[in-house]
Amino acid sequence: RGIANTEISSNLALSLGKAFAIYLTQSTQSEEIKIVIGRDTRTSGDMLVSAFVAGAMSMGINVLDVGICPTPCVSYLVRELGVNGGVVITASHNSNPYNGIKLMDSKGAKLDTDIEFEISQIFHNITDYLCDTRVGRLVVDTDLPKRWADYLISCAKDIDLDKFNII
């Protein structure tokens, strides 16, 4: 996390998108690698998503952009859709000038420290890697977060709320 457009720049997001794609390519047996990306409502989100997606796609990774949604939604969609990883552009509780980039594994969970270290090594040596000859595809589907909302509703369908006053 950091101040958007300074500490968390589009160049950083582009290189991190490439590094995450390289890591997934090296660690996955799958012929087609796909990730889900979402973001919060911060102004800088569009810029950072665009840069990250460009980096990942330049390395042959397919990206599903689900638009504005919370981190647990992306985590759920990674598992539900059976993709290789997830990304959320958010600074959580930090104020608006901040933003950040969260990476997830194929289970929608925070990456292990050793995987973060491996991606960091790739990131810091990104010029050592050639771009893939394949170019990934981008699909935008902002209706997908509704699956998560439906899932949450299904989890609460048997809860009796009659004794509560809800505002």
3-class SS letters over 96-163: CCEECEEEECCCCCECCHHHHHHHHHHHHCHHHCCCCCCCCCEEECCCCHHHHHHHHHHHHCCCCCCC
Using only C-alpha atoms, the chain has a radius of gyration, in whole angstroms, of 17
Say if CB 99 and CB 89 are below 8 A apart: yes
* Whether 106 is catalytic: no
Looking at this protein, which amino acid is placed at residue 137? Answer: R
Please tell me the distance from the alpha carbon of residue 113 to that of residue 119, in angstroms, as a whole number. Answer: 10
Catalytically annotated residue among 92, 95, 106, 120:
92
Which residues are marked as active site?
A: 92
